[in-house]
Structure 1
Amino acid sequence: PNVTAAEAMGGEEDPKEESHQGPSTLADVREEYGPAVEDLGVSEEEDLYRGAEELIQGPVKHAGPEALFEVTLPKVEDRCSLEPMLDILSYSESEWKGNTTKSTLIRTGYTKLSQRFGSLRQVRGDNYCALRATLFQVLSTSTQPPIWLQVEHISTWAEELEAREGLIGQWMFPSECRQGDGSEDAVQQLKRYMELLQNRWQAAVGCSSAEERQRLCERVFQGGEEELGLLEALKLLMLVRASEFHTTMQEGGDVPVFCWLLYARDSSDCPRTFLANHLSRVGFSGGLEQVEMFLLGYALQCTIQVYRLYMTDTEEFVTYYPDDHKEDWPCVCLVTEDDRHYNVPVGQPNGL
């Protein structure tokens, strides 16, 4: 039987999904979820999010993570998009020398991280960074596929979204993904990338050992069309989930709290503006904001645990995206020094 994207990704029937119903404005969210809003960087004096006119005028202070580069168009390189493993403490000492307050704080964070992991792999520092680090960890650790990945027709989700809301036609792809004779439209291209994601994920699950999964990831993450196509597929998954949540909100249904923050932005009040002003820029002129990390976790049905080193010795040192499925979703781990660039911790602590 046919299964819709909403049903495959959980829909409204998932009894495990922590949800919330009611607030319709950012002020309402602040009143009821003050601490949660502060965690995402929204305060009474400074708003994390930019309005549409501000996006045209240029960046403003506290407008979310800045672009790692003004415009980033990844180029194919004959090496893996993740550097070889480095000892965490050695990396910390070499990168954060000196006795400034920040250097000491970051080194302390790495010391705490080293109690769980022994090594670090640096992720290529472009604006796909958060997506790349997350997908690498997902593929290198998966032992079973999520339910939505097992639905045979996930490759049609782009076509469904285009027919229903007309969101796919103007999709922007990196240069490595503009290949062939040009006869393939955006829907067909995303369909191919969704099939590729399904195949690579299932191949990773089918590996007989962690070492075999690692070798598969080394082949996939080479910076070319295969890798970037997979990352564009993740963006499509995020858009499908965002559209589903928006429909539920309009119908008065229950959604996770972060959805009210996602759609409270002047520049992101519906799926169309979310795509135009935020998601389409990921990989090019901007990375993922924190609220979009929650969406990524829901899209993958995976908890993304992030060690935020600049928040060492605070309650936000370890953050979960999302934090309401830690018991029933698989978990992958990333590390960041600034909520902009993410690296991958791997391996057992030294001495174990």
Structure 2
Amino acid sequence: MRYYKFSAAERKLVMAEAELPEPGPGQVRVRVAAASLNYRDVFMISRFGDVGIDNRIPLSDASGTVDAVGDGAMRFQVGERVATIFFPDWISGRFRSSYAPSAFGGEGADGVLSEYVIVPERALVASPAFLSDVEVAALPCAGVTAWHALFVRAPLEPDDRVLIQGTGGVALFALQFAHAAGVRCIVLSSSDDKLERAHKLGASDLINYRDTPDWHLAVQEITKGEGATHILEVGGQDTYERSLQSLAPNGTIAQIGVLTGFHLRPNLLPLSRLNANIVGIQTGSRQHFEDMNRFIEEQRLTPVVDREFTFDEALQAFAHMAEQRHFGKLVINVAGG
């Protein structure tokens, strides 16, 4: 089989080959059909000097078909379509710090950018039948993160107003989920074209933050001074202060990403005045994934895939992700070549 790995010596991803592995007890072998990228994967590449990732296989999100099962593995049969979960050790309940090292494609475990992977059977969910393998590959990190933020930690209510930063993977899943739940959605982007596409997906209010740098004022105007009840904070140092100034009383900021940098020094005093919350979101559990899949099937929601790359074009996919110009998800069609 072919796979990609981090090479600290060459300071790049390199393709390698290995014998087809056999699943052990409680494990399954998955023939990978597709794998999607997240900003985390670009961040990992920036850490080539870290011996913890040398020779690691990247990426956390994959879809495919069960190809073989080990002794005692009973959750799936050969031929069933499946997707990986982000944390193989987080099945349900509260997150524990001990789950973190199990994350696919991180310092503690190999990822899924491979033609075949061996994973614990607990680390898989069934794929929604109506979605293609490429679409399913978009779900594990971005989809579950948006679900966790909007339906678990601060569940949406009918009169809520969701502020969504950007049009990347998490943002568009949040837009699709919130719109399907009947909630008003405000979307920020620097591109009028992307805003128009977001409008077609259900965004009711659009703000171009390049034209309107004080976008928090626009949010307050749109909401008649009430603010947004839910804010998906993915920007980091350049957006946090305005997010706080956009927040409604009793509202929640879901802290997800740091696309503009890690050096956050926001003024948190408004939180007490507003009786508001900040919750940290780190993807979610297998239970969250399964609950999200039921919602996706009920609503017939289709993930937004910006572009597909072949397996041989994996380096181009990483470069495209680093440019942050995509709309939705970037997916590597592993089985397609």
The TM tier, using the shorter chain, reads under 0.3
Q: Which has the higher contact order (CA 8 A, sep 6+)?
A: 1
Bigger fraction of residues in helix: 1
**Which protein is richer in strand relative to its size?**
2
